[in-house]
Amino acid sequence: MKQKDRSVSGPVTRIRYTAGAKLFIGGIYLGIIFLVVLLIYMMKNPY
């Protein structure tokens, strides 16, 4: 009952949570892309 009341009473917190999750996933995605690009760059230009 308490959990249901909390979820109903806080739509703003839910929006904030979804925005944070999207930002987190986006950050991971950008990090993976950066690592892949760095790996390709290292393979093309070996020291």
Number of domains in the chain: 1
pTM for the full predicted model: 0.52
Domain range for 26 is 2-44
Give tens-digit pLDDT for 2-30.
555 555 556 777 778 888 899 999 999 99
Amino acid at 44: K
pLDDT at 12: 75
Distances (CA, A) of 39 to 2, 6, 20, 26, 27: 50, 46, 28, 20, 18
